[in-house]
Amino acid sequence: MDIQQITEIFELMTGEQNGDIYAQFLNLAMYEVGVMLRPDAESSDYRLNFLCAAVAFYRIQQMLAARERSAVTYAGKILKESQNSAYAYSKLLLRDYLQICSDLLTSQNFVFSSFSSKEEII
């Protein structure tokens, strides 16, 4: 993973001119992707740069969506439905890049469960 390339891809995704101000998010994304990598995966695979940028974009949109949960009106604050289309787009983008890199990543959605005496145990 190359932080310079990740920053450039992030700038393309977000439209930001200076991705360096988001360095903390980019570094966190690199860590997240590093944790997901299979032991035999090549960390210099170019696809991972796109995945890191998508993870950073998603994390930023998560934070922004949490802030926009309430709106100030004449009558006071009220809760509103999220209208952050960038958040929805970032989720789709992240899903797509996870799919593209699936052969490099360990499965994150595996759950053990069993049934005993008609009770589910997870």
* DSSP sequence for 24-78: HHHHHHHHHHHHHB-TTS-TT-THHHHHHHHHHHHHHHHHHHHHTTEEEETTEEE
Q: Write the pLDDT tens digit of every residue in 31-45.
A: 999 998 998 988 888
For residue 61, what are the domain limits? 3-121
pLDDT of amino acid 87: 82
Q: 23-27, 29-33, 69-73, 100-104: which has the minimum mean pLDDT?
A: 69-73
Based on the structure, what is the number of domains in the chain? 1
- pLDDT, averaged across the chain: 80
Look at residue 96 and tell me whether its pLDDT is greater than 70: yes
Sign of CA dihedral 12, 14, 18, 24: negative
